[in-house]
Chains A and B, each alone.
Chain A
Amino acid sequence: MSCNLLIVDDSPILRAAIKKVVKLAGLEEDRIFEAGNGQEALELMSTIWVDMVLLDLNMPVMNGEEFAQELRKLPELEDVAVVVVSTESNEDRLNRMRELGVVEVLHKPFEPEDLRKIIVNNLGVKL
């Protein structure tokens, strides 16, 4: 069993780096998708099923917090696990994200094993 994962980050270079780590964690390349901001992510998610979103917070057009707010309005996507992947440490902001349904916060820089554990724990898949 596997899962579809979406990396949402405005930096192409960071998306590439995260993708490498995701692959090292055990995910197949054709199950990893990318979006440059929250709006692009929502558009993509209207066409493909995504099990987990790795979400940056500071992005143009639609930031991570706005994306999480919009996602909550879509009951058909309520099962999507959202993981914040960011350098953010501000307690108030992270608490707001948790209130919006974020299941985990992964601080950059992270190890492939940290991500693998999050995927296994939240999606119940074996990698």
Chain B
Amino acid sequence: MNQDKLGEMAIQALERTAFVSAEPADSEFLDELDPCEWYTKINYTGPISGSVYLAGSPGFMLGLASSLLGVDVEDVSINKEGLDALRELTNIVGGSVVSALGGDHCKLSLGLPEVIKNADFPSGGSGQHCILDAEGERLDIYWQPAEGASAKAA
């Protein structure tokens, strides 16, 4: 698992599920994207364990929810539809990570996505961090293997 693979998984989830296009953010222009304010996490357990974290800017949350529901941005709120949407995206990206790590005979189990506080979002460590530009809005994805698990798994 590396930064590129993590980004590809999230891009595929966004495009196939929400019809939102995304690409890796240009590191030189990160300041032009609104910062993330909403955070989610999903754990996986089994022979190896770890977590996948997502964080989205307010605009990303609204855009994702409106795309999933097929309604205007004005008809969704971040606290309700936005968080539901980010949780579901976390579930899908987490599932893709688990599938890649577990292979054809996967013994890993995916937990349920949860909303977390900013302070619980990892920074640094042994994981992989990817930042996407989703139609001008910021989405961060972070994969954190549990201590002792190899970051080069899969």
Contact = CB atoms under 8 A, between A and B. Distances in A.
Interface string B78-110: 000100110110011011101100101111111
Contacts of B17: 17, 21, 108-109
- Name the prevailing secondary structure of the A interface residues: mixed
Contacts of B149: none
B88 A13 contact: yes
Contacts of B99: 87, 89, 107
B16 A16 contact: no
- Name the prevailing secondary structure of the B interface residues: helix
B28 to A, nearest CB: 30
Interface in A88-114: 88-93, 107-111
A124 interface: no
B73 interface: no
A9 B53 CA distance: 23
B132 to A, nearest CB: 15
B94 to A, nearest CB: 7
Nearest to B105: A91
A85 to B, nearest CB: 11
B70 interface: yes
Interface residues of A, number: 22
A20 interface: yes
Given A11-B84, A17-B18, A108 B92 contact: yes
Which of A13, A14, A93, A108 has most B Cβ within 10 Å? A13
A122 interface: no
A13 B110 contact: no
B69 interface: yes
B49 interface: no
Interface size class of B (residues with CB under 8 A): 20 to 34
Given A13-B69, A16-B68, A109-B17, A87 B95 contact: yes
A22 B38 CA distance: 30
B6 interface: no
Which of B12, B46, B96 has most A Cβ within 10 Å? B96
B108 A90 contact: yes
B84 A109 contact: no
B16 A13 contact: no
A89 B98 contact: yes
Interface string B8-23: 0000110111110000
A58 B107 contact: no
Given A13-B84, A21-B16, A89-B102, 6 more contacts: A13-B81, A13-B85, A87-B95, A90-B109, A91-B104, A108-B91
Interface of A: 11-14, 16-17, 20-21, 58, 86-93, 107-111
